[in-house]
Amino acid sequence: MKLIPLTCSIVAATLLFISAGCTTHHTAVLSQKIPAFVATDDFSRSKPEELPGEIEDIQKIPQDVSRFTVAIKPLPTNELQASALQRFRKQHFSPWLEPEPTHDLKQSIQGMKDIAKTTWYGESRLKVKPERIKVILGHADLDRLPSRNQPGIAIAPTFMRGLPNLKPLYETSDDFPFDQLQYSEVKPNEPLRILHESDTGAWLFVETAYGLGWVKAGTVLPVDRSLQQRMTSSELVVITMDFAVIRDDKGKAMPQPRIGALYPLVREEPDYWLVELAVAGEDDQAVLKTARILKKDARRFPLPFNAETVTHIGNELLKTPYGWGELFRDRDCSATTRDFFMPFGIWLPRNSREQLNSGPFLSLANLSKPDKEKLLIQQGVPFRTIVHRKGHIMLYAGLFDDRPVVLHTTWAIRFKTKTGQEEKFYVGRTVLTTLEAGFELPLSRGTLLDHVDGILTLPAP
């Protein structure tokens, strides 16, 4: 959903998802006074100098995860981490482990066809002609889908799209960045299943562990059984720094991964990890090639869950601008939560609602705001509990001035000017805030806390 105070989920008809888990509670407390701020209706886009440069929460709450990780404890038992890792591997490699697609192809195909029934706007802010969408659907060759069924792998970062086309479809003329065809980024070395190709051969329709969509041909390739065996049975290293530099044995730069990408480990060297990554081989098949990653950019998978590792991953994610569907290789809310948990071997789907539903969540619907905060403080575990409101997912970080704080990636806060017009105060990045971020503005749709409806603690026991 986009028309909400804090916005950042994927709502694509053709994506379907799998599940993860949940568990118990703990609380971290940090205290620093936030001065009272009285809401006013004096803000107006006609006089931008009247708008604050930043919302109050971001000015007052340290944008540094280390301020919230002092009380973090390891996972309660080794069995819990082992169970979570087993579940992660099963989900991550599911496109190879299952002989047939696990997502609903009929629903996906119908979702693509239904796109032609809606009025859309393009990159020029003008209406997209129905004929253009019909042409794209023609290239999708849906009557033959699925025409293939091959295990494959991404050999480069690639965007998963709702149709075989790079052009955006917006719901309104000023709807940037919410391109409804932009789903997610597929990470390099990510397992998938190739199910179909467009009539031009320029696009492939694939299934990942978390959904279905189109990717550019040449960014994914089929894999043989030996490569699958190597990937599924090897010790792995995980990328812990966005846009890590990877070079092959000849020093050639390879596609740069972001946090969460996984590579089979060949050996540990003094300054590098020697790993294997998928590249194009003969006969349009993927093969594994050795390459080196600086030790500061990756670690053995999974990371232990402790203050140092949580601070490292969290602060790296705090650098990320908002990117709907990971547009521009940035992140939206559910990409942030998913990428946070991946290095720890904890699986999450890709969509915000599915993330909440991936375990037995605690409902906060119909509670008062004080009761919601009280339950979150009592039941929430810093950096293990996700907090949901319709269209948005957040990671509970602990307390600041006795109020719950969340780490989340958000686009904008909606408020009303003194003329009654609704405007957006842009945040546009990953931040640490309370659940009443923007409380000092004359909010038009309430705060996050007004709409929070559930929490889930990961991983499941």
Give the chain's mean pLDDT: 90
Decide if 252 contacts 316 (C-beta within 8 A). no
User: Tens of pLDDT along 262-288?
Assistant: 999 999 999 999 999 999 999 999 999
Candidates 3.60.20.10, 3.90.1720.10, 3.40.50.2300, 3.40.50.1000; CATH matching 29-74+308-457: 3.90.1720.10
Question: What's the CATH number for 227-300?
Answer: 2.30.30.40
CB of 232 within 8 A of CB of 89? yes
pTM above 0.85, yes or no: yes
Contact between 430 and 317 (Cβ < 8 Å): yes
Asked if the domains at 29-74+308-457 and 94-224 fall in one CATH topology, the answer is: no
| Of 212, 151, 164, the residue nearest 184 (C-alpha) | 212
What residues in the chain have per-residue pLDDT under 50?
Answer: 1-46, 48-49
In the chain, % of residues over pLDDT 70: 89
Q: What is the pLDDT of residue 47?
A: 53
Cα three-residue angle 314-187-397, rounded to 5 degrees: 15
Calculate the CA dihedral of residues 374, 410, 354, 69 and round it to 10 degrees: -50
Residue 2: predicted pLDDT: 41
Which pairing describes strands 246-248 and 286-294: parallel, antiparallel, or unpaired?
antiparallel
Domain residue ranges of the chain, discontinuous segments joined by +: 29-74+308-457, 94-224, 227-300
User: H-helix or E-strand containing 238?
Assistant: strand 236-239
| CATH architecture assigned to 94-224 | Roll (2.30)
**C-alpha angle 191/192/193, rounded to 5°?**
145
